[in-house]
Amino acid sequence: MHAADLAQEARVSAAWKVLHTVLDPEVPAVSVCDLGIVRDVVAGEAGLEIVLTPTYSGCPATEVIESDVLAAIDAAGLGPARVSLRRAPAWTTDWISAEGRRKLAQYGIAPPGMVDKDAAVPIRFFGRSMNIATPACPRCGSAQTERLSAFGATACKALYRCLACREPFEHFKPI
């Protein structure tokens, strides 16, 4: 491998490390990498290209995420960089990492179950696996929950209430 190729590879690796520190503006407990929004980092002659897939085509946080990504890359001295949006294939909650699911639960948001059952990476919370049909309460772990609203603070979440501890919580919708 040529020295230039090694330098580009090191730059891409460093960029991935930086991107793992960029938090989602709507759910600051998880990074944009935890959510699977960052699809690729490509080094070229003109600089880095960061490929993002928004969670929803109309997600209002997309511009903030783009700005935060570029600012983090620039602050790390890895620029110049640009962001490109890749909308196909569409983002799916299956792209959320196991670590991201754990962080969502710790933050108080019930993580989504896997849409593709074959790709499932089970996580345990309060000693039990999370359930797709009825999300477990991220506070007490009870499966006795009810949906209060199809929409939470953002379109990608639904509002639930735990029937055991009576606490409301949001559930990241599987899509």
Condensed to tens digits (0 to 9), the pLDDT of residues 104-132 reads 999 999 988 766 555 444 445 445 454 44
pTM reported for the whole predicted model = 0.79
Q: What is the pLDDT of residue 33?
A: 98
Q: What is the pLDDT of residue 133?
A: 59
What digits encode the pLDDT tens for the residues 45-66? Answer: 889 999 999 988 778 899 999 9
Residue 90 domain-assigned (yes or no)? no
**Domain stop point among 61, 85, 109:** 85
Same domain assignment for residues 11 and 77:
yes
Q: What is the pLDDT of residue 45?
A: 86
Same domain assignment for residues 133 and 80:
no
Same domain assignment for residues 121 and 154:
yes
Same domain assignment for residues 102 and 166:
yes
Same domain assignment for residues 13 and 77:
yes
Residue 158 domain-assigned (yes or no)? yes
Per the CB < 8 A criterion, the answer to whether 96 and 119 are in contact is no
33-39 own/partner pairs: CB under 8 Å, 24+ apart: 33/97, 34/96, 34/97, 34/99, 34/100, 34/103, 35/95, 35/96, 35/100, 36/91, 36/92, 36/94, 36/95, 36/96, 36/97, 36/100, 37/65, 37/91, 37/95, 38/69, 39/86
Q: How many domains does the chain have?
A: 2
